[in-house]
A and B are shown apart, each in its own frame.
Chain A
Amino acid sequence: MTFDIAPATKADLIAEDPRDRGGPAQPMLIVERLKKYFPIHAGLLNRKVAEVKAVDDVSFFVLKGETLGIVGESGCGKSTLARLLMHLVAKDEGSLVLDGDPVGERRGVSLNALRRALQMVFQDSYSSLNPRLPIQESIAYGPRVQGDSAKQAKQKARDLLEQVGLRPNLYGQRYPHELSGGQKQRVNIARALALDPRLLILDEAVSALDKSVEAQVLNLLQDLKERFNLTYIFISHDLHVVQYISDRVLVMYLGQVVEIGPVDEFYRNPKHPYTKALLECRLSMDPDERVDAAPLAGDPPNPVNPPAGCRFHPRCPFAEEVCASKAPALGNVLQAGADKHLAACHMVIAGSGHTKAPTAELARA
């Protein structure tokens, strides 16, 4: 018999949360086959001539209490994905399951409940705060909308300002243009927390800040995560930051997930050539290890007409015939456990026909 007196684990924390419905093993959010195509209208009759496949068949899940990092180049659909999750943009296809309850369906959670459980911190700290409202009122607006009295909402806003490290007496009545970028981003975080969310989507939340402030805000985020028992989806193009904050990392390319895996495994042993290229782009602290040539040439292809087969093959140094004809499958992300490292590349799929693909036996071993 052993007496385990370890500090409270994640599972304990989750079990203590009165908002919890599905238990610690139930993922906070399951995203299944999410699609969003933006139509392009042109011509005299304004007919639909093409579609931008901004998010194309994306599936993943986020466990309770974890931080899922989402990385990718500009225009790969990261922000659209965030807006889809927040229901700010209507999805074309796919489903969301929040803590075991389907979103927006009968017997599932309502949109309003989703909005309370899911909040977002926007990238542009300038345009994400109303320039004509004192920040305290900006924060109090959400609780007011959700039915708090003016006094309760104000108190909540002041408490949250305190929590994000801004003195409410000093800053509460200020207008956004009187704050620095880092302070504004703190206000944005407080505003997102005002509805007591369980999952916070951070869309490039620290990307616009300078490095010292970025570190402060990252520490604040880590701190708040424990204090409020939060789950994060952290969208960024900065791989260093993602490595620091994430438990798992998901890579997007042209609206699709190309690789997903636990953070250590992901950084030690990237599988997809796109991920490898991204990791090589990181600047090293060692001047002897300069990046001389860009590991990745050219712009990402046009998402209106993505390349056939693997979408990365025109830029991939290992592309072979099979890559141009057949799209590699990522595998069943939703069935695989959180510790699995998956990549949508013919080089890791056994028997795919790529010369570098492992043989069937090797793959099984």
Chain B
Amino acid sequence: MADISISPTTGSLPEPAGQVRIRGYWESVWRRLRYDYVTLFCLALIILIVLSAVFAPWLTHFDPDKSSIANRLRPIGHPKYILGTDEQGRDLLTRMLWGGRISLMMGIVPVLIATLVGGMFGVVAGYYGGKVNMIIMRTMDVFFAFPSVLLAIAISGSLGGGIFNQMLTLTVVLVPPICRVAETATSQVRNMDFVDAARASGASTISIIFSHVIVNVMSPVLVYASTLVSAAILLASGLSFLGLGVQPPTADWGLMLSTLRQSIYVQPIVCAVPGLAILVTSIAFNLVSDGLRQAMDVKA
């Protein structure tokens, strides 16, 4: 006699033995990403650029800062210098690899710090609302009043050059937009019933923010922050180009573009190399963030 008990409330049969595995959030994001070949290609490109920058000292045997007047402005495809040489006779490939270190750091580190700082302020402003929100967001509005390039020039002009100051400048410029995105997302989540349900269970505000708010605010903020990486690289390059960022002879894509500018009539293609690197890197970051946005959409 089969002993099958049927639940009185659902009328359903007894459950199968063992845990049925259901995909987690990140697993389902990856599943959607796996068929997005453009995003995957760009992701691979970014990884390649990052790796080549990280391992720059082992990839070339030239000193990036040692100039040689005799070998100035060699063309691309030169037997010794694959990408030619710059206006001071330094191997361009070496300087591209070393410069990638600075440029990528300028793109990633300020965005990371700004995401943490801006995200925190945004979540606090969005969650508490009222006066707290007003104080934080109006302060951010002061920064919004200036165009970001102008603000960056003003800050870095007053702080002076150098890698650290340039990163500080970029962070300050990037905090307000991230804060705005985090605040909007938080105030939407804050009014959802599940936050009330958590409050009704006696949870502290800190616990609610960490378990319920941040997980929901994270994906819009991360997607937005990833678009800022390319903006930060461009901005950093721009500052270096203007002489407000990295100081020569340190290699940096923006600075290289700036110093090679004078030689554009002599070796136009060599001059375009740093610009091309900036272009490709920022497009790759933009496309990846676009793909991430689609993959991280829960209801898709």
A interface residue numbers (CB < 8 A to B): 83, 86-88, 111-112, 115-116, 118-120, 122-124, 127-134, 138, 141-142, 145-146, 164-170, 172-175, 177-178, 188, 191-192, 194-195, 216, 219-220, 223
Contacts and interface: CB of A to CB of B under 8 A. Distances in A.
A145 B202 CA distance: 7
B298 A120 contact: no
6 contacts: A145-B198, A173-B21, A177-B298, A192-B197, A216-B10, A223-B8
Contacts, number: 108
A173 B22 contact: yes
A127 B192 contact: yes
B203 A141 contact: yes
B200 to A, nearest CB: 5
Nearest to A129: B194
A111 B199 CA distance: 11
Nearest to A118: B200
B193 A141 contact: no
A165 to B, nearest CB: 4
Contacts of B203: 141-142, 145
B231 to A, nearest CB: 27
B79 interface: no
Interface of B: 7-10, 12, 15-22, 24-25, 192-194, 196-204, 207, 211-212, 215-216, 298-299
Given A116-B202, A169-B20, A220 B194 contact: no
Identify the interface centre among B8, B19, B202: most chain A CB within 10 Å of its CB: B202
Contacts of A86: 196, 200
Nearest to A147: B202
Contacts of A142: 198, 201-203
Contacts of B202: 111-112, 115-116, 142, 145-146, 195
Nearest to A87: B200
A274 to B, nearest CB: 29
B9 A131 contact: no
B12 A165 contact: yes
A165 B194 contact: no
Contacts of A195: 201-202
Contacts of A118: 200
B15 A128 contact: no
Nearest to A131: B298
Contacts of B9: 164-165, 216, 219-220, 223
Tell me the interface secondary structure of chain B in the complex.
Answer: loop
A88 B192 contact: no
B298 A88 contact: no
Given A115-B200, A127-B192, A145-B203, A132 B25 contact: yes
Given A128-B192, A132-B216, A169-B18, A141 B200 contact: no
Identify the interface centre among B15, B18, B200, B211: most chain A CB within 10 Å of its CB: B200
Contact of B16 (A87, A169, A219): A169
Contact of B211 (A112, A122, A141, A167): A141
A220 B10 CA distance: 9
A325 to B, nearest CB: 40
B220 to A, nearest CB: 12
A81 B63 CA distance: 75
A223 B11 CA distance: 14
Nearest to B211: A141
Identify the interface centre among B196, B215, B298: most chain A CB within 10 Å of its CB: B196
Contacts of B17: 169
B201 A115 contact: yes
A138 B215 CA distance: 13
A131 B20 contact: no
Contacts of B20: 169-170, 173
A134 B22 contact: yes
Contact of A141 (B15, B25, B198): B198
Given A165-B10, A223-B8, A132 B215 contact: yes
A339 B196 CA distance: 34
